[in-house]
A and B are shown apart, each in its own frame.
Chain A
Amino acid sequence: MTIQIRNTIRFLLNHRLVELSDVSAVQTLLDFLRIDRNLRGTKEGCAEGDCGACTVLVGRLLGGQLKYESVNACIRFVGSLDGCHVVTVDSLATPGGPLHPVQQAMVQTHASQCGFCTPGFVMSLYGLWMENAKPSVTEIEKALQGNLCRCTGYAAIIRAAEAISTIGDLGKDPLFAERDRIAGELAALQDGRRVVIGEGAELFMLPASVDDFADVLEANPKATIVAGSTDVGLWVTKFMRDIAPVVHLTHLEELRRITVDDKGVTLGAGVSYAEAYPVITEHFPQLRELWDRIGGQQVRNMGTVGGNIANGSPIGDTPPALIALGASVTLRKGARRRTVALEDFFIAYGKQDREPGEFVEAVHIPFLEADTSFAVYKITKRLDEDITAVCGAFRLTFDGAGEVADAVIAFGGMAGTPKRAVHVEAALKGKAWQEPTVEQAISAFDQDFTPLTDWRASAEYRQLVAKNLLRRFYLETQATGNIRIDRNIAVAV
């Protein structure tokens, strides 16, 4: 079957259809809004997806359903938006008309001071409101993990978030009320064609299907694959790297599939953290805290588990946990597929077991067996939206006599790749799961890891924390007393 090609990208921008044929592979949505379209309500704070001043909503279809999500316009490429609906702060209130309920709430509670971060907060809260009209404080905080405010201390913003539903009726919100019409318009943009724009150093493509993606990548083995652009975006905005040709996964619904069978969960490589969240937390509740602390909401909406693995970072959030769980990845090149254990995928710093033209297609996470304890701990300087200093994941299987039958322990932030603590594992296997065993195994960390000192943590701290995380894991399996800081302490007061 010959694939049909389109040489434009088309998306809705607020109330209008935009069709572009002359757009750079590295054009960010933020610059497009501010410079090309003169929509200057959306601000640039950091240009790396960490401050949220540029937050906009992007609506996209999955299985015919339209869902709006907050994203960072600063690291989102315009090329990835084909078939989407971009909603910016400029469209919320009509000039001279009343403010949107989210905006009214922010004004009433004195939630803006300098006002520069405010449009981003408004959009994050709008995204939350559409999903959850009466959120708890914890849910509000989670929705705002990707938004920095330097003036208010946030208390007023939380008050605003709580007030929205007393001001407005979600049912009357234009995006909510007109969801079907907009979904229809977006559906009409989906013509099943491969999108090809530009050439040479400006070339980017949106394959029409996974098979098409495999073809495109074989033909362009040096292409940069962009899923959520939460990492690649910075190559452009911070390092000014030329990344073309670029392949966007926007249209690959197949890669956004989540399958659950009797063996485990399979995530298509294009599944975002947010899309994976319900099934991950259902089957692996031990991953909930980790998942809640990946980036901010915008990053979880954009970033993908597949991308987190494929970029090979030693401090990626998911690899240590997935290695400990015994996950594997399916790699595909053309029509050829192979499956490798995740821990074998990471060869050395910056080097993964992926050939040119090959891509990560899916991640398989097997269910935990009976008599198994599993936990993952992410240690950071700041609780939320921070990159790992140390991340430790532990999976221990016990035999009937309370001895350690199997141990898989994987760490991030301790070496040039996510890496197993094989000596610690060996020191635990076959031993009674008791404090002396743990204390005797601790010193094996010195054989397994020689961490580095950098701005996130010193080598000394990393090593000590790695050891203490084994202690924490042991204590948690004993389930006595206060072992963790109580995040819900406010309820108790």
Chain B
Amino acid sequence: MNVMQPIDRIRGGVHENERHESGHKHVSGTAEYIDDIPEPAGTLHGYLGLSQRAHADILSIDFDAVSASEGVIGILTADDIPGENDISPAHKHDDPVFATGKVEFYGQPMFAVIATSREAARRAAVKVEVEYRDLPHVTDVLEAAAANYPLVIDPLKLERGDIEAGFAKAKNIVEGEMRIGGQDHFYLESQISFAIPGEDDEVLVYSSTQHPSETQHMVATVLGVPSNAVTVNVRRMGGGFGGKETQANIFAAVAALAAKKYRCAVKVRPDRDDDMSATGKRHDFHVDYKVGFDDEGRIEAVDAVFAARCGFSADLSGPVTDRALFHADNCYFYPNVRLRSKPLKTNTVSNTAFRGFGGPQGMVGGERMIEDVAYAVGKDPLEIRKLNFYGGEGRNLTPYHQTVEDNIIGRIIEELETSADYAARREAVIAFNRENHIIKRGIALTPVKFGISFTKTEYNQAGALVHVYTDGSIHLNHGGTEMGQGLYTKVAQVVADEFQVDLDRIKVTATTTGKVPNTSATAASSGSDLNGMAAANAAQQIKARLVRFAAERWNVAEADVAFEPNTVRIGAERLPFGEFIKLAYGARIQLSAAGFYKTPKIHWNRSEGRGRPFFYYAYGASCSEVSVDTLTGEYQVDRTDILHDVGRSLNPALDLGQVEGAFVQGMGWLTTEELWWDAKGRLRTHAPSTYKIPLASDRPRVFNVRLAEWSVNREETIRRSKAVGEPPFMLGISVLEALSMAAASVAEYRIPPRIDAPATPERVLMAIEQLRAAARQGAVAQG
């Protein structure tokens, strides 16, 4: 046995700024996305035929021209489905693969064309002749409520304290409403599935999905086969953001259906415009609120209704609207509170998960109330925020009766105020606005508290599979999917750290239902929390066996066996990791393990609106300053400073990228990204030419982003890190409020501007016009 000198540390362990495991492949075009997989000979292509009505009975469909179109092999309708024509993730049986009898939104899939090329299938699909009988339709939340449209799922009510007494006690009451627009995910890789038929009832589906297990289940349901016949594989997605949590399923189901029917490989990929028309988005909300507060601005009572445009089916609208309520408090204690959701049906595409999952809409509503209170008492909104933060005796209970135990927002805000020089800059902004009449500035500092865990408790579990091969290389597989967030990198870092081997010894392989079963969606920011823990568990099982083996073989105590950088120390001796593994294999030690993890402490009773839905909270804050042109409503973000809490980061470089990216995406949601339906119920902003996500030149002119390096998760998460996917999305709220302040300056900050989101240049200008008119009226009244 060699006596080796220990090296300091492994390369690529936890807390290191390790590069993305696919970075070198991304930049050279060799990272394989599903459309890049070489097709077997004879591969066919499917294309969906979409409805051209928002709400109508289908009287007849004439496929003659479709069938006659060049390259067409066949047409699939609901009649071709051997199993169930339903892919409702809520199991409400309200989400058909192909509409039958009736269409409920403009762009709803009715059939699929299968042809020898995608081009041929696409050209054929639009040749269909459909006879419709129009039915009245609504696309808007308020119209839906007025038309007595049903709710797509049971609403939620959160209540605590005595709401009547709270308002009775409050010296001031403000009521208001706000519209909050939806958002298209605009993942750069559109939806895609590629199915290869197997023996008997088997099918292998490559799907760009965040939820392989559900995709597997849906494909099995549609095909009428058991889940064990279906394998779903996903190496990576070209972006997900929630848009591929349930919305991938229809493409997988259609590809699998065609693959089994025609006994060849089938690929289904929509054009961008059809992807944006036929798949769900972030929910638009209408918030109706009433807030009671004292003369200082301390909140006494909050009563709010969050109505959401859910689209034609339930999809994930239940948990999305629930999460809006869970975050309507953001960082603030509401002594008496009643929050209600109203998940309304509309004749639009069924809305779905999107980074934050309703939380952002809830938080925007909560922050609008803070703004209203601030304008009412004539204070800086930041003062009102601090006055109402959770903290202190009896002020830590959320509207859902979870106690906030890990509150660090005070320190985050204090540090950011200092590093962003908030107070002085706010004075400077006010001074600037006094001197300038065309260009106005605004500044806002807003906090974020975001609850981590799936509110559906059963989703908080994960599996992983780790193999150590006899050459000492390690194969890692887990249930999480890679969509750019760096999950594969982080989990590999955890496994490297467990075994104390260099990261390049570990290969993460494509997520597949055949290796790790019954997984949850990679969603709710939970990817590394859940899968990191499961992978660590698998590694620990193998390590325990190895320790026992070493203790017996070398006759030392188990405590004297240690995994040190790239070596195993047994007593005073050291063996290279690979050499040690060979010996273990020779001794017939099992070198593979399936790991498992379930989040502790959480529970949730939805009917009572009580429990501990979240394991912990992630915090952050951002400070944005904007310039607004009051002639046109055009604006720019001059500067943004961010301090964000990721606990003890597994990979600060990747986490920083998540924070920067989430902020810009959140800013886009609240500024230029506008969904616009015409009178026929047709979405007209369905491509990048009309739907405007931020560009490089839209990011803040000065952009200072830091992680709260001192933060350590008080709960026992993987290496005390915190989830990072969603929480920083809501940092974008500071931009919306800064725009508000700039607008408010034209009326001396006396009137709340109440700009709806997204605050497009048009909405900003119209708000300024209204404020100017109101200020003139006020002046006349006073004069």
Judge whether B438 is part of the interface by a CB distance below 8 angstroms: yes
Q: Are B239 and A50 in contact (CB under 8 A)?
A: no
- Binary per-residue interface labels of chain B (267-310) against chain A in the complex, 1 for a CB within 8 Å, 0 otherwise: 00001110000000000000000000000000000000000000
A482–B439 Cα distance when bound, in Å, is 6
Query: Contacts of B632 on A, CB cut-off 8 Å?
Result: 377, 379, 465, 468-469, 472
- For residue A478, give the distance in angstroms from its CB to the closest CB of chain B: 11
- Binary per-residue interface labels of chain A (90-118) against chain B in the complex, 1 for a CB within 8 Å, 0 otherwise: 10110000010011101110101111111
Query: Contacts of A151 on B, CB cut-off 8 Å?
Result: 239, 484, 657, 661
- Binary per-residue interface labels of chain A (23-37) against chain B in the complex, 1 for a CB within 8 Å, 0 otherwise: 000000001001000
A370–B22 Cα distance when bound, in Å, is 59
* Highest count of chain B CB atoms <10 Å: which of A90, A108, A154, A384: A154
Q: Are B701 and A387 in contact (CB under 8 A)?
A: no
**Which of A39-47, A76-84, A215-223, A405-413 faces chain B?**
A39-47
With known contacts A48-B687, A153-B699, A156-B660, A89–B272 Cβ distance under 8 A: no
- For residue A46, give the distance in angstroms from its CB to the closest CB of chain B: 4
Q: Are A113 and B35 in contact (CB under 8 A)?
A: no
- Binary per-residue interface labels of chain A (479-493) against chain B in the complex, 1 for a CB within 8 Å, 0 otherwise: 001111111011001
Judge whether B30 is part of the interface by a CB distance below 8 angstroms: yes
**Which of A206-214, A327-335, A456-464 faces chain B?**
A456-464
Contact partner of A458 among B25, B32, B661, B762, CB < 8 A?
A: B762
Judge whether A53 is part of the interface by a CB distance below 8 angstroms: yes
A92–B524 Cα distance when bound, in Å, is 38
Contact partner of B627 among A34, A116, A385, A486, CB < 8 A?
A: A486
Q: Are B696 and A471 in contact (CB under 8 A)?
A: no
Closest A residue to B17 by CB, please name it: A110
- Binary per-residue interface labels of chain B (691-703) against chain A in the complex, 1 for a CB within 8 Å, 0 otherwise: 0111111110111
Closest B residue to A457 by CB, please name it: B762
Contact partner of B272 among A45, A99, A389, A461, CB < 8 A?
A: A45
Q: Are B29 and A40 in contact (CB under 8 A)?
A: yes
CB < 8 Å A-B pair total: 279
Q: Which of B525-569 contact A (CB under 8 A)?
A: none
A110–B485 Cα distance when bound, in Å, is 11
Q: Are A154 and B696 in contact (CB under 8 A)?
A: yes
A45–B188 Cα distance when bound, in Å, is 5
**Which of B147-155, B573-581, B635-643, B749-757 faces chain A?**
B635-643
**Which of B1-9, B386-394, B445-453, B662-670 faces chain A?**
B662-670
Q: Are B29 and A113 in contact (CB under 8 A)?
A: no
User: What bracket does the count of chain A residues touching chain B fall in?
Assistant: 35 or more
With known contacts A51-B188, A382-B698, A484-B629, A112–B688 Cβ distance under 8 A: no
Q: Are A475 and B272 in contact (CB under 8 A)?
A: no
Judge whether B38 is part of the interface by a CB distance below 8 angstroms: yes
- For residue B238, give the distance in angstroms from its CB to the closest CB of chain A: 3
Q: Are B762 and A384 in contact (CB under 8 A)?
A: no
Query: Contacts of B696 on A, CB cut-off 8 Å?
Result: 140-141, 144-145, 147, 149, 154, 157-158
A237–B485 Cα distance when bound, in Å, is 31
With known contacts A115-B25, A489-B627, A53–B436 Cβ distance under 8 A: no
Q: Are A148 and B186 in contact (CB under 8 A)?
A: yes
Judge whether B486 is part of the interface by a CB distance below 8 angstroms: yes
A40–B35 Cα distance when bound, in Å, is 8
Judge whether A401 is part of the interface by a CB distance below 8 angstroms: no
Please report whether the interface of chain A is mostly helix, strand, loop or mixed according to DSSP: loop
A122–B28 Cα distance when bound, in Å, is 8
Judge whether B205 is part of the interface by a CB distance below 8 angstroms: no
Q: Which of B115-131 contact A (CB under 8 A)?
A: 119, 122-123, 126
With known contacts A47-B271, A150-B239, A475-B438, A485–B635 Cβ distance under 8 A: yes
A483–B29 Cα distance when bound, in Å, is 45
Judge whether A262 is part of the interface by a CB distance below 8 angstroms: no
Q: Are A107 and B27 in contact (CB under 8 A)?
A: yes
Closest A residue to B185 by CB, please name it: A150
With known contacts A110-B653, A156-B657, A240-B126, A148–B188 Cβ distance under 8 A: yes
- For residue B440, give the distance in angstroms from its CB to the closest CB of chain A: 10
A389–B690 Cα distance when bound, in Å, is 11
Q: Are B272 and A153 in contact (CB under 8 A)?
A: no
Contact partner of A482 among B436, B654, B692, B762, CB < 8 A?
A: B436
With known contacts A48-B272, A107-B24, A472–B631 Cβ distance under 8 A: yes
Judge whether A21 is part of the interface by a CB distance below 8 angstroms: no
- Binary per-residue interface labels of chain B (674-716) against chain A in the complex, 1 for a CB within 8 Å, 0 otherwise: 1010100000110111101111111101110100000000000
A486–B627 Cα distance when bound, in Å, is 8
- For residue A80, give the distance in angstroms from its CB to the closest CB of chain B: 19
With known contacts A114-B188, A464-B765, A383–B661 Cβ distance under 8 A: no
* Number of chain B residues close to chain A: CB under 8 A: 95
Closest B residue to A390 by CB, please name it: B632
Query: Contacts of B36 on A, CB cut-off 8 Å?
Result: 40
Q: Which of B293-350 contact A (CB under 8 A)?
A: none
Query: Contacts of B689 on A, CB cut-off 8 Å?
Result: 46, 48, 50, 387
A422–B186 Cα distance when bound, in Å, is 42
- Binary per-residue interface labels of chain A (381-419) against chain B in the complex, 1 for a CB within 8 Å, 0 otherwise: 111111101000000000000000000000000000000
A150–B693 Cα distance when bound, in Å, is 8
Q: Are A44 and B35 in contact (CB under 8 A)?
A: yes
Judge whether B224 is part of the interface by a CB distance below 8 angstroms: no
Closest B residue to A74 by CB, please name it: B272
Query: Contacts of B24 on A, CB cut-off 8 Å?
Result: 99, 103, 107
Q: Are A118 and B26 in contact (CB under 8 A)?
A: yes
Closest B residue to A113 by CB, please name it: B484
- For residue B49, give the distance in angstroms from its CB to the closest CB of chain A: 14
Q: Are B688 and A379 in contact (CB under 8 A)?
A: no
Q: Which of B640-658 contact A (CB under 8 A)?
A: 653-654, 656-657
Q: Are B627 and A485 in contact (CB under 8 A)?
A: yes
Query: Contacts of A489 on B, CB cut-off 8 Å?
Result: 627, 636, 638-639, 701-702
With known contacts A113-B661, A116-B238, A381-B692, A487–B22 Cβ distance under 8 A: no
Closest B residue to A106 by CB, please name it: B27
Query: Contacts of A188 on B, CB cut-off 8 Å?
Result: none
Contact partner of B660 among A41, A153, A386, A481, CB < 8 A?
A: A153
Closest A residue to B758 by CB, please name it: A381
A115–B486 Cα distance when bound, in Å, is 11
Q: Are B122 and A240 in contact (CB under 8 A)?
A: yes
Judge whether B241 is part of the interface by a CB distance below 8 angstroms: yes
- Binary per-residue interface labels of chain B (91-135) against chain A in the complex, 1 for a CB within 8 Å, 0 otherwise: 000000000000000000000000000010011001000000000
B-contacting residues of A (Cβ < 8 Å)?
A: 31, 34, 38, 40-48, 50-51, 53, 88-90, 92-93, 99, 102-104, 106-108, 110, 112-119, 122, 140-142, 144-145, 147-158, 237-238, 240, 377, 379-387, 389, 454-458, 460-461, 464-465, 468-469, 471-472, 475, 481-487, 489-490, 493
Instruction: Supply 22 A–B pairs (Cβ within 8 Å), ascending by A.
Output: A48-B272, A110-B657, A113-B484, A115-B22, A115-B238, A116-B484, A150-B186, A150-B665, A150-B693, A154-B699, A156-B657, A156-B660, A238-B687, A382-B694, A455-B674, A456-B690, A469-B632, A472-B632, A482-B436, A482-B439, A484-B439, A485-B636
Sorted nearest first, the 9 A-B pairs with minimum C-beta distance are A41-B29, A114-B484, A116-B238, A115-B26, A153-B664, A113-B484, A50-B688, A103-B27, A382-B692
Beyond the given A106-B26, A114-B484, A148-B693, please list 16 additional residue pairs across the A-B interface where CB-CB is below 8 A.
A40-B35, A45-B688, A46-B688, A51-B188, A99-B28, A114-B238, A115-B26, A115-B238, A118-B26, A141-B697, A144-B696, A150-B188, A150-B693, A156-B660, A379-B632, A482-B438
